[in-house]
Chains A and B, each alone.
Chain A
């Protein structure tokens, strides 16, 4: 390729989806480029171009406007304008240059013709924002399934070699001494080169000591012959399956029939050592707050690791929420031991992100107490002490006190059932936007510990009311529409509604929270009791509040935004920085920006629908 065109090739190749092209296809595309120049404030397409042209911005800027002259977006160097690809500009969008602009124009039919072998590239221009996002999330989820499991890990990553062995003529005592010296719980018993069996700690206990067998007896008296082995080419998942189904903890590894090493359940556990289930069981065994504080230090590491493995944000959120729940339960148990049993039944409630199971490490604590109506005034001391112990404990474990004081230590949120019913009555029946703004966190409540029926009956009553109260839903919708996604990106800035530029994208307030709010509104309008955003969207899909297609689009957008946030936070934590929600466009790849813009579009569409509904 000529050096001159290779420069243009490199420019084009850096722009998704052209990055998917091979050099030949890229060269053919570049040869079809017509370079044109437009002055500031000229309309696209330039007169010389008939319909069906794709434009790539080489230099300058374009602004998109709706038919009502509302700014829809701005585009800079390396952005693609595909509005005019098709016969009809169905979106009714007008495009104008915002600076003097150098454009690369390509006839779209010609492009389709050249790229017949690259359906993904053509699909990128033909698909809607929703379709592109769906494709992206489908591939993310697929990767997560593959990479997060043991299936992907070879057994060679775990096994010990060489294997500790002992001659078959040795005594039981000699075996026990050798195991003690090596610190192993298992030996392979050899006759020459051939393995004749396996002996473990458990065999010595059950077949020798418990039976009163002399330790001077030959080891062959207590070994397990007929041993199960695994081939070295297997993966860790196979090993785990064999050990679980046969109830064994040691598995010799063979290479073409020859003994090569040993893999133990402990090895596999250590690999998954920081996993959520394991951490939960450690928390359960902790005896002091100090122990819990030690364990809590593993939480960021767990999140980083899960993010690295390609686990979905949903999975991470659920795991972290489950662990927070375990911390809380253990603290409550400790408090009850200290304070004596509860005077009346109660339940400890989580609110907000923990209740939605969408919590990440370093979240703040949102909690409350719901107490049986049998509660007497003198009982409050016990519950206050409980709340103080638990929230102090959580704070020590890194869950900072709620800045809005939504905590069980606040007497307002430590009340008997009937008072809670009264709260919800007031919020739903005589709604005021300001009161609802602070109360929305209480429409995401879940029981962490205690009598689940207390919350369940309050919720049931509340949902009956929210289903019928259009005024309440209208107020909630109005509040939700205060948080709007940005229009997109312009160069290295985030472009917001009024055409202003911002340096960072607030993933939480301009992306995730609007979807969480929408999902809550749909759920309350439809009387759906679940609290997690994805589950809410799944359950309201196909109701009068939300079509199935829209629900799927919102879930894709939510998962994508949550994934970006998780990766961003993991990166920060790895660099020993406090996780936050602020993403600089500079840190985003061009493709990520495209997907983000698609996600914003989905949110905007649904918000607009909400706005027109009320």
Chain B
């Protein structure tokens, strides 16, 4: 308890709020994050996915952002959001084949600032859900550094880590490729999905978390703390 109040994400949020400049980031930080002890079903979650030109948050660029709500065991598609980000420089051909985002689409995209603002607004008071947290965390923190001069922290659930925890618990060797989004979906008999589109992956990740939680011993008793990174 004491540890949480000093180093927990709520404590960090309050400290950062004092330093945050006026605007989107401050608005985001001014609303408390969900309590760790609350049940998963009661927790507002935003499933997020980024498509990027590479794995390095400083050298590589954000290409597109997709997100959708997950709340009360439902994914309302009305909340779905997908935007391509306008940036300078040409895309590498091999990237285009993965994301299907072409230069001309990119040139017509929205500014990084607007997309980050919309993301922060949607994420306010929620827990961020991703598959493989490093990309989304580092790219969002880097974008905030560039835009607001500071990198916020936020509570996250990572479906990859949820799966990994279960496997580690069993203490047997496993193939890391079984932790891929499509492999995990397959394991829970979720339908094939069209990968490498940010919104599509965000929906796919939210569906996966519902399946993962449903397969835990007492799904209705699962608390946020059981899932957080």
Q: Chain A residues in contact with chain B, CB under 8 A?
A: 2-5, 7-8, 30-39, 46, 48, 58-60, 77, 99-100, 102, 105
Contact = CB atoms under 8 A, between A and B. Distances in A.
A279 to B, nearest CB: 53
A60 B189 contact: yes
Contacts of A99: 189
Interface stretch (B132-140, B173-181, B194-202): B194-202
A4 B78 contact: no
B101 to A, nearest CB: 10
A37 B77 contact: no
A32 B80 contact: no
Contacts of A33: 76-77
A5 B199 contact: yes
Nearest to A103: B74
Given A35-B207, A38-B214, A30 B77 contact: yes
Contacts of B190: 59, 102
25 contacts: A2-B66, A2-B82, A3-B197, A4-B80, A4-B200, A4-B202, A5-B199, A8-B77, A31-B78, A31-B80, A32-B77, A34-B74, A34-B75, A34-B77, A35-B74, A35-B75, A35-B207, A36-B73, A37-B73, A37-B210, A39-B214, A59-B191, A77-B191, A100-B211, A102-B190
Contacts of A5: 77, 80, 199
A2 B211 CA distance: 24
B76 to A, nearest CB: 5
B191 A58 contact: yes
Interface in B209-228: 210-211, 214-215, 219
B211 A37 contact: yes
A324 B76 CA distance: 62
Interface centre among B72, B73, B188 (most CB of A within 10 A): B73
A346 B144 CA distance: 101
A26 to B, nearest CB: 12
B193 interface: yes
A4 B203 contact: yes
Interface band, chain B:
20 to 34
Interface in B22-42: none
B100 interface: yes
A59 B204 CA distance: 13
Contact of A37 (B198, B203, B207): B207
B104 to A, nearest CB: 16
B207 A3 contact: no
Given A2-B199, A48-B73, A100-B188, A7 B193 contact: yes
The secondary-structure label for the interface of chain A is mixed
The secondary-structure label for the interface of chain B is mixed
A60 B76 CA distance: 20
A32 B215 CA distance: 27
A39 B199 CA distance: 25
B215 A7 contact: no
B199 A4 contact: yes
A98 to B, nearest CB: 12
A580 to B, nearest CB: 35
B194 A36 contact: no
A102 B190 CA distance: 7
A46 to B, nearest CB: 7
B215 to A, nearest CB: 7
Contacts of B75: 34-36
A3 B193 CA distance: 11
Nearest to A42: B214
Contacts of B77: 5, 8, 30-35
Nearest to B201: A4
A102 B199 contact: no
Contact of B197 (A4, A31, A32, A105): A4
A34 B76 contact: yes
Contacts of B189: 59-60, 99-100
A46 B75 CA distance: 14
